[in-house]
Amino acid sequence: MADLSVNFAGIRAPNPFWLASAPPTNSGAQIHRAFEHGWGGAVWKTIGAPVLNISNRYAGLSIAGQRLLAINNVELISDRPLDVNLREIAEIKRLWPDRAVIVSAMVDASPEAWREIVMMIEDTGADGIELNYGCPQGMSERGMGAAVGQVPEMCELNTHWVTSVTRLPVIVKLTPNVTRITEPAHAAIAGGANALSLINTINSVMSVDLDTLQITPNIGGRGTHGGYAGPAVKPIALNMLTELLTDPQVLRSGVPVCGMGGIVTWKDAAEFLLLGAGAVQVCTAAMHYGYRIVEDMIDGLSNWMDDKGFATIADVSGRALPQVSTFGELDLGYQAVARIDPDKCIQCNLCYVACNDTAHQCIDLVAGNGVRVDPGYDVRVNGKAVADTRPTPVVREPDCVGCALCANVCPVDGCITMVSVPGTQQSVSWDALTAQRPEIASSWDAMMAYRAEQGIEIH
């Protein structure tokens, strides 16, 4: 079996699946139960400044009957007394010495406040500290959370105040609510961070109730922005992870990154690992399905690693990173076309509609007798409509640009595949082409001349 154990910035755990700092890690009793199910670690719900929470706290995004594709929360950090949290942290670490117990912290931006909370955390025997620079609601208005993470100078300064007074590994949790995620990352590293984690929640307003006209969640007739998380944010998290782990300054520092944002299954976790994460954190999925989901995560990742021949998490981490590129480095001569498997096609014609209305008009509807038909009209043979002549979508490959919209709207797995075909134009990247012929980037006449040379037709 594959070895799932991790050593993340000196923090050891039996597997890379950790619960994120959030309601699932609010108390010792919860974390004890989570560890019984097999979670490799937990980041304690953020402790620090005193708060009062509100209700309602959550709003969910549902589409076509699928619940909780995303969640918006306006919950603050832990509202449990500090001494209670600290006592339970120490107890959990005593009971579970092999699990990663990390404490998330957030206090006023002063060296005194940070020193005080750090000393308390160290006394619990916790394995590490995560600095919450990401919370976008409630705490940021008080100069904490995202208010620190969005200002690189504050990020570096606050991090330095912590790293200068502790021997514990310090993880800085980054906010996604910035233009360039690398800037606060550089600041955290300059402040002495031992590791980074991302993403925290995205600033959002979930919805407006069309019956009551109230923003959701409705808090006594008012609403506010909150933190957006769940499966819908995974592509954003993966992008920010790759931005960090392809950044030369981050790479030179050698700091590991813990990935989170939309992880529901072992497959999601494997994607984060392949893009360079050293461990992963999970929140919304645990809130939706309970702690037991980690059992499938462990089995699924272990079996996949065995199938692929990966012995350790280190063998997986970063394996997909060499593929990451800029648009300017991509091969303009590469060509793919859509192919529809007629045996799998259910003739819903969604591909035709998508292509005809919003893409490149290269899919025809063809009747059973080979006649191209106009949608919206009955297909008739000898004047009578017949079921077996219902039109089937067929791709005109010479006109297909390989956009893959049809493959993405098709409801049948494997019915439409994108197939590589021999390219008819020069294999060259945009950067290389414009270096050779810079006029192409600024003159449509030059562009059209190049297209004519290469036989490129845009219909």
Q: Token pair of 273, please?
A: 């690992």
Task: Using the predicted structure, report yes or no on whether residue 171 has a pLDDT greater than 50.
Answer: yes
Q: What is the mean pLDDT of residues 374-396?
A: 64
CA distance 198 to 176: 8
What Cα–Cα distance (Å) separates residue 236 from each residue in 53, 150, 203, 261, 369? 28, 17, 13, 8, 47
Q: Are residues 163 and 121 in the same domain?
A: yes
135 counts as catalytic: yes
Q: What is the mean pLDDT of residues 1-25?
A: 97
Mean pLDDT of all residues belonging to the chain: 94
Q: Is residue 446 part of a domain?
A: no
**Overall size of the chain counted in residues:** 459
| Model confidence pLDDT, tens digit, residues 276-331 | 999 999 999 999 999 999 999 999 999 999 999 999 999 999 999 999 999 999 99
Q: Are residues 270 and 373 in the same domain?
A: no
CA distance 403 to 416: 12
pTM: 0.94
CA distance 262 to 264: 6
Please name the helix (run of DSSP H) or strand (run of DSSP E) that holds residue 267, with its range, or none.
helix 266-274
pLDDT band at 452 (very low <50, low <70, confident <90, very high): very high
Q: Is residue 438 part of a domain?
A: no
Bridge partners for 215 per DSSP: 208
Residue 369: the pLDDT is: 61
Q: Are residues 240 and 172 in the same domain?
A: yes
Task: Using the predicted structure, report yes or no on whether residue 404 has a pLDDT greater than 60.
Answer: yes
Q: Are residues 102 and 234 in the same domain?
A: yes
Q: Are residues 376 and 302 in the same domain?
A: no
Q: Are residues 359 and 275 in the same domain?
A: no
Q: Token pair of 364, please?
A: 């025809």
CA distance 342 to 431: 40
Q: Token pair of 68, please?
A: 């909780």
Contact call for residues 231 and 70 (beta carbons, < 8 A): yes
Contact call for residues 294 and 258 (beta carbons, < 8 A): no
Residue 423: the pLDDT is: 87
C-alpha 433, offset from chain centre: 33
Q: What is the mean pLDDT of residues 408-432?
A: 96
Domain range for residue 65?
A: 6-323
**3-state secondary structure labels for all residues of 108-151:** CCCHHHHHHHHHHHHHHCCCEEEEECCCCCCCHHHCCCHHHHCC
The three-state secondary structure class of 93 is: helix
Residue 383: the pLDDT is: 53
Q: Token pair of 304, please?
A: 């996949």
Q: Are residues 233 and 334 in the same domain?
A: no
pLDDT band at 254 (very low <50, low <70, confident <90, very high): very high
Residue 374: the pLDDT is: 64
Q: Are residues 205 and 100 in the same domain?
A: yes
pLDDT band at 73 (very low <50, low <70, confident <90, very high): very high
Catalytic-role residue among 135, 258, 362, 415: 135
